[in-house]
């Protein structure tokens, strides 16, 4: 006899609160992890006063570094280094997280029709928007508490008070961009559009901050960008009052605008009208493979631009960063990576590792999109025509593999372009080879996740991202600490050569590429022998 499930009272508010709690806690865990590991890495890589002074001298007056990552203060202290290392990464991550969270909860719910359903009850759009925004405080609080707790667990080098100060500053953009996403959700009538509009404000914010820090006498521009306010907060000597007032005022202002806009528009509509018609674009529609390319194209290009740009920037700073690595630190990292060579080559190897992780993330995201297409029965719309199942899946996976290899080569080329501008002396061939090598763990991971998709599609997304986080986490911990060899062998990135600081290991690269290919073939076979699974 079936046991009745216990009755749980569920309301729209509690669902939003739970979602905010989850989202905030996850962001907090990442930020806390970054703060904690940065502090630990500093103590491990720069153990002596002279090493720390040398680091401070190399970075504090490097304009390129300041433009990219913000100014460096007190790099000879754990707190100063941690803030410098985590500030821009965490601030941008928190901002993206904020805008994605608010557009998902406000515009995403509206897109899916859930808001309309809730509004059939005794509430209005304005009141519901207000309730959702009130729940954002749950997200912010969860992020702050989790970040502080995780950072405390990871690092013993920073006091609890310093950790709490750091996480407060680093999470400030989360609050501002929750508001930015909320306003965009009122203006644009689709989740994607709202997220893009809010992302544009973030890009503008970053650009203004970079110009303000370029040493052109435009430092006052920092007051016109939320990332600038955060940067001001990181200079305790200059006083915290004004930036905090700016952050609070912007948050209140954006919240008020959101409420006003939500009270004067229809459900499902935005303040900006969308183009609903257009003349036909028939490019890449002739075959299932061409259509897969059309679906993949925009996303692949976006990832390609991001990975190339990041590689270029890291290539640009590789020489300066490499020069700051003292012999002991260098030996520690090279030992972890199984590499040798100059500081520049080691920094480029680390960049290469990040490229491999990014390419893998692209691969997993594409498999998640594939699963989403099946869940929404879009795959049915293709397979109800004379299209072979295995052939269709093979085509789609092959395109992902080609995009990964192309992305790796492009990243290598971009890394070289950046490094060449600084006369780093690393050859184009070495860096393109490193880039192509970066594609191999991504291919292995794609093969593995594709097999999961072929066998158990419902687990594709969770296991795919889980495997990526596991693999990346293990090797990143190796760079700053130590992990057992058996455990490390389970990470696909452990089998990546530390090129250009080491030669590309063709056997390892070939094995990973072959694993990827095998996984892809296996997924095609299993996919053709199972039911299509919706929802």
Partner 1 sequence: MDAVIETTNLTKRYGRTTALKDCSLSVRRGEVMGFLGPNGAGKSTMINVLLGFARPTSGVATIFGENSTRRAARVHRRLAAVPSDVTLWPNLTGGETLDLFANLHGAVDSAYRDLLTHRFELDPTMKVRAYSKGNRQKVLLIGALMTRADLLILDEPTTGLDPLMEQAFRSSIAEAANRGQTVFLSSHIMSEVEALCDRVAILRSGELIEVGALHELHHLGGRHLDVRFNGIVPDLSRLPGVANFTVQANRARFEVRGALHPILDALAASDVITLDVREPSLEEVFLEHYGERS
Q: Each residue of 259-283: b (16+ CB within 10 Å) or e?
A: bebbeebeeeebeeeeeeeeeeeee
Residue closer to partner 1, measured from CB, 37 or 109: 109
Question: How far apart (Å, rounded) are the C-alpha atoms in residues 449 and 446?
Answer: 5
Q: Does 532 bind partner 1 (CB under 8 A)?
A: yes
Among 223, 224, 240, 291, binds partner 1 (CB under 8 A): 291
Provide the terminal-to-terminal Cα distance of the chain, rounded to the nearest Å. Answer: 27
Among 256, 287, 427, 490, binds partner 1 (CB under 8 A): 287
Say if residues 99 and 177 touch (Cβ distance below 8 Å).
yes
Question: How far apart (Å, rounded) are the C-alpha atoms in residues 194 and 200?
Answer: 10
Say if residues 314 and 421 touch (Cβ distance below 8 Å).
no
Give the binding range for partner 1 (CB under 8 A) out of 40-48, 279-287, 301-309, 435-443. Answer: 279-287
Question: How far apart (Å, rounded) are the C-alpha atoms in residues 299 and 107?
Answer: 21
Q: Does 260 bind partner 1 (CB under 8 A)?
A: no
Q: Does 487 bind partner 1 (CB under 8 A)?
A: no
Q: Which residue has the tokens 């729209």?
A: 12
Least gap, CB of 286 to partner 1 (angstroms): 5
Least gap, CB of 128 to partner 1 (angstroms): 23
Give the binding range for partner 1 (CB under 8 A) out of 55-63, 170-178, 283-291, 321-329. Answer: 283-291
Q: Does 368 bind partner 1 (CB under 8 A)?
A: no
Question: How far apart (Å, rounded) are the C-alpha atoms in residues 396 and 384?
Answer: 17
Say if residues 360 and 486 touch (Cβ distance below 8 Å).
no
Q: Angle at Cα 323 formed by Cα 322 and Cα 327, nearest 5°?
A: 90
Give the binding range for partner 1 (CB under 8 A) out of 65-73, 140-148, 284-292, 422-430. Answer: 284-292
Least gap, CB of 248 to partner 1 (angstroms): 37
Q: Does 369 bind partner 1 (CB under 8 A)?
A: no
Question: How far apart (Å, rounded) are the C-alpha atoms in residues 341 and 350?
Answer: 13
Ordered alpha helix ranges (H), 378-505: 378-383, 389-421, 428-455, 460-480, 485-488
Least gap, CB of 110 to partner 1 (angstroms): 13
Q: Does 3 bind partner 1 (CB under 8 A)?
A: no
Q: Does 156 bind partner 1 (CB under 8 A)?
A: no
Residue closer to partner 1, measured from CB, 260 or 381: 381
Residue closer to partner 1, measured from CB, 393 or 476: 393
Residue 307: count of CB within 10 angstroms of its CB: 24
Give the binding range for partner 1 (CB under 8 A) out of 133-141, 205-213, 233-241, 375-383. Answer: 375-383
Q: Report the largest interatomic distance among the alpha carbons of the chain, rounded to a whole angstrom.
A: 77
Token representation of residue 82: 């941690």
CA-closest candidate to residue 437, choices 348, 350, 498: 498
Q: Which residue has the tokens 């996984």?
A: 519
Least gap, CB of 190 to partner 1 (angstroms): 7
Give the binding range for partner 1 (CB under 8 A) out of 148-156, 362-370, 387-395, 399-407. Answer: 387-395
Contacts of 54 (CB under 8 A, 6+ apart): 324, 326
Least gap, CB of 199 to partner 1 (angstroms): 18
Distances in Å between the Cα of 211 and the Cα atoms of 64, 66, 221, 416 are 11, 10, 8, 25
Residue closer to partner 1, measured from CB, 240 or 291: 291
Residue closer to partner 1, measured from CB, 368 or 382: 382
Omega prior to 500 cis, within 30 of 0: yes
Q: Does 196 bind partner 1 (CB under 8 A)?
A: no
Contacts of 140 (CB under 8 A, 6+ apart): 24, 171, 174, 175, 178
Among 218, 242, 252, 285, binds partner 1 (CB under 8 A): 285
> What is 139-182 written as a DSSP string?
HHHHHHHHHHHHHHHH-SSS-HHHHHHHHHHHHHHHHHHHHHHH
- From residue 321 to residue 340, the character string flagging contacts with partner 1 as x (rule: CB under 8 A) and all else as - is --------------------
Least gap, CB of 384 to partner 1 (angstroms): 5
Among 13, 62, 131, 190, binds partner 1 (CB under 8 A): 190
Q: Does 378 bind partner 1 (CB under 8 A)?
A: yes
Restricted to residues 88-107, the positions that interact with partner 1 (CB under 8 A) are none
Least gap, CB of 447 to partner 1 (angstroms): 24
Least gap, CB of 304 to partner 1 (angstroms): 20
Give the binding range for partner 1 (CB under 8 A) out of 67-75, 222-230, 264-272, 280-288. Answer: 280-288
Residue closer to partner 1, measured from CB, 161 or 276: 276
Residue closer to partner 1, measured from CB, 190 or 340: 190
Contacts with partner 1 by CB under 8 A: the residue count is 34
Residue 139: count of CB within 10 angstroms of its CB: 29
Q: Does 22 bind partner 1 (CB under 8 A)?
A: no
Residue 267 DSSP class: T
Q: Does 28 bind partner 1 (CB under 8 A)?
A: no
Among 386, 423, 484, 507, binds partner 1 (CB under 8 A): 386
Among 22, 156, 219, 274, binds partner 1 (CB under 8 A): 274
Least gap, CB of 483 to partner 1 (angstroms): 40
Contacts of 186 (CB under 8 A, 6+ apart): 106, 129, 257, 258, 261, 262, 265, 270, 271
| Residues of this chain that bind partner 1 (CB under 8 A) | 190, 274-282, 285-288, 291, 295, 376-378, 380-389, 529-532, 534
């Amino acid at each position: 006899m079936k046991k009745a499930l216990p009755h749980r009272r569920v309301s729209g508010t509690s669902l939003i609160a739970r979602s905010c709690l989850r989202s905030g806690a996850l962001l907090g865990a990442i930020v806390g992890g970054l703060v904690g590991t940065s502090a630990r890495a500093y103590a491990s890589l720069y153990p002596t006063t002279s090493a720390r002074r040398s680091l401070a001298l190399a970075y504090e007056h490097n304009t390129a570094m300041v433009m990219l990552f913000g100014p460096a203060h007190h790099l000879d202290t754990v707190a100063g280094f941690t803030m410098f290392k985590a500030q821009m990464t965490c601030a941008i991550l928190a901002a993206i997280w904020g805008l994605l969270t608010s557009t998902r909860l406000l515009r995403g719910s509206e897109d899916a029709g859930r808001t309309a359903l809730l509004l059939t009850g005794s509430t209005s759009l304005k009141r519901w928007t207000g309730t959702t925004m009130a729940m954002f405080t749950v997200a912010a609080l969860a992020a702050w508490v989790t970040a502080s707790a995780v950072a405390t667990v990871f690092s013993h080098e920073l006091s609890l008070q310093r950790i709490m100060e750091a996480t407060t500053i680093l999470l400030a953009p989360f609050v501002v961009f929750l508001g930015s996403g909320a306003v965009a959700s009122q203006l644009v009538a689709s989740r994607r559009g709202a997220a893009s509009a809010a992302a544009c404000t973030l890009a503008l914010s970053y650009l203004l901050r970079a110009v303000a820090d370029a040493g052109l006498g435009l430092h006052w521009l920092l007051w016109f960008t939320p990332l600038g306010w955060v940067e001001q907060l990181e200079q305790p000597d200059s006083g915290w009052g004004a930036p905090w007032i700016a952050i609070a005022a912007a948050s209140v202002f954006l919240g008020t605008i959101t409420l006003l806009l939500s009270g004067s528009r229809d459900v499902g509509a935005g303040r900006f009208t969308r183009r609903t018609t257009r003349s036909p674009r028939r490019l890449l529609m002739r075959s299932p493979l061409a259509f897969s390319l059309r679906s993949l194209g925009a996303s692949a290009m976006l990832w390609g631009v991001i990975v190339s740009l990041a590689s270029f920037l890291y290539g640009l700073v590789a020489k300066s960063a490499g020069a700051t690595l003292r012999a002991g630190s260098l030996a520690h990292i090279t030992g972890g990576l199984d590499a040798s060579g100059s500081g520049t080559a080691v920094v480029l190897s680390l960049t290469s590792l990040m490229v491999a992780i990014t390419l893998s993330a692209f691969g997993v995201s594409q498999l998640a999109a594939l699963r989403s297409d099946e869940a929404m029965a879009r795959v049915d719309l293709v397979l109800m025509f004379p299209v072979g199942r295995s052939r269709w899946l093979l085509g789609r996976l092959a395109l992902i593999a080609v995009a990964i290899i192309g992305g790796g080569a492009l990243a290598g080329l971009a890394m070289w372009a950046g490094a060449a501008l600084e006369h780093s002396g690393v050859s184009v061939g070495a860096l393109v080879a490193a880039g192509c090598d970066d594609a191999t763990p991504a291919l292995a991971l794609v093969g593995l996740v594709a097999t999961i998709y072929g066998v158990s599609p419902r687990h594709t997304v969770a296991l795919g991202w889980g495997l990526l986080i596991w693999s990346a986490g293990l090797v990143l911990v190796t760079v700053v600490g130590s992990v057992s060899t058996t455990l490390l062998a389970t990470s696909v990135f452990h089998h990546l050569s530390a090129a250009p600081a080491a030669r590309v290991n063709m056997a390892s690269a070939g094995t990973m590429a072959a694993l990827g290919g095998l996984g892809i073939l296996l997924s095609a076979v299993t996919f053709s022998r199972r039911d299509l699974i919706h929802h």
